Amino acid sequence: TLRFLRVDGWNGERFPQWGIHQLPNLVSVDIGNCKRCRNILPFSGLPHIKTLCVKNCAELDLWDVKDEDGDAGKGNSVNSSTWPCMKSLELLSLLGVSKLQSLPSG
């Protein structure tokens, strides 16, 4: 099973929704140099994530998350009960994402 994922240079504005939930054993995600990306991956299906690094994603301005029912939440509208990966997250690194409006709380 895949435990580490690095995305470098994704050229789309949004990440595809299909793949991340098929990787429930991820413990580390590194996203970088995605110059056009405006919306980060939904991490609600990653209960074991420990490290999340996002760097040099200049257009990133929205961090949408989905609760277990698939309902979208934005920014601080969620917590660790609706976004389980926040319980395991040990390191969050954000560099070069100055347009990001808010973060999930928990």
For residues 60, 62, 68, 70, the Cα torsion angle rounded to the nearest 10 degrees is -100
Question: pTM of the prediction?
Answer: 0.77
And the tokens for 32? 């970088």
The one-digit pLDDT tens for each residue of the chain (106 residues) are 899 999 999 999 988 776 777 888 999 999 999 999 998 877 777 888 899 999 999 999 987 665 444 544 444 444 455 456 667 889 989 999 999 987 765 5
Instruction: Identify the DSSP state of 79.
Output: -
